[in-house]
Copies of this chain bind each other. A is one copy, B any other.
Amino acid sequence: MPATYHHENLRETLLAAAISLIGEVGPTAFTLREVARRAGVSHNAPYRHFRSREDLLAAVASQGFRELAGAMRAAGQKQGDALDRLKSAGLAYVAFALRKPEHFTVMFDAPRSEDLSSDAAEAAKEAFSELNLLVLAVQANGHFAQNEPQQQSLYAWTTVHGIAKLATSGRLPWRTKSGIMRFAAFAIDQSLAGA
C-alpha cells in the first residue's frame, strides 16, 4: 500500500517522531515501537537506522547539543563587552532549554553520559567549549580572578544549567517563558556580580 516501499528518509522522520513522542510522554515512557507506528513503518524498521533505543536517544541528544552550541555561539557574537556576551550566551542556554525541553531532557537525564555515542559526546564538548571561550575572554578583559579558568567556566555552566534544569522540570513558579527568562537574567546578573 505504500507509494514508496522505501521511505526515502526514514531516519529524519523517526527522529522527528521520537522528539514529539518524548514531548508527550517523556523520555522514560518513550517507546521505539510507538515511534515506528507514528512513522508508519513496521516495529523493526528503526533498527536499520539506529542500533537500539538508546542509540536513537543519543541521536536526539547529539542534535540537541549541536543546536545548543550554535545558539550559544550566535549569542556570544553579539556586540557588547566580553561580560555582556557571556551573559547573552548564558541566556541562550536557558532559552534553548525552554525552546526544546525534550532535547534538553534527553541530553542530560536519560542515559549515563558514557553511554552517549561518541558523536553526542563530541557535540557536548563543542557546546561547552563555546562557554569556555567566552569565560576566557572575560578573564582577558580583567574581570574574574585571573586564576582557575576551568573553575570559572564550570561555574558559568553550573549556573545556567541549574536554572534550565529546574525550569524544564516545572519547579520554578513562573508559568510563561518570558517570566522564566526574566528570572534567568536576574540570576545570571547576580552570579556575575562579583566579577
Interface bin, chain A: 35 or more
CB contacts under 8 Å to B, within A138-195, are: 148, 150-152, 154-155, 157-163, 165-166, 169-173, 183, 186-187, 190-195
**In the complex, are the beta carbons of A108 and B158 less than 8 A apart?**
no
Given A108-B169, A113-B171, A190-B191, 19 other A-B residues pairs in contact with their CB atoms under 8 A: A28-B28, A28-B111, A109-B169, A113-B169, A113-B170, A148-B186, A151-B186, A151-B187, A155-B187, A155-B190, A155-B191, A159-B187, A160-B162, A161-B162, A161-B166, A162-B162, A162-B165, A193-B194, A193-B195
- Give chain A's interface secondary structure class: helix
Sorted nearest first, the 3 A-B pairs with minimum C-beta distance are A193-B194, A162-B162, A158-B162
Number of copies: 2
Residues of A within 8 A of B (CB): 26-28, 108-114, 148, 150-152, 154-155, 157-163, 165-166, 169-173, 183, 186-187, 190-195
What is the minimal beta-carbon distance from A60 to any residue of chain B, in angstroms? Answer: 15
Q: How many Å lie between the Cα of A187 and that of B160 in the bound state?
A: 13
Q: How many Å lie between the Cα of A161 and that of B151 in the bound state?
A: 17
Listed A/B pairs (30) with beta-carbon separation below 8 Å:
A26-B112, A28-B28, A28-B110, A108-B169, A109-B169, A112-B170, A113-B169, A114-B170, A150-B173, A151-B183, A151-B186, A152-B190, A154-B166, A154-B173, A154-B187, A157-B166, A158-B162, A158-B165, A158-B187, A159-B162, A159-B187, A159-B191, A160-B162, A161-B162, A161-B165, A165-B165, A190-B194, A191-B191, A193-B194, A193-B195
Chain B residues within an 8 Å CB radius of A194: 190, 192-194
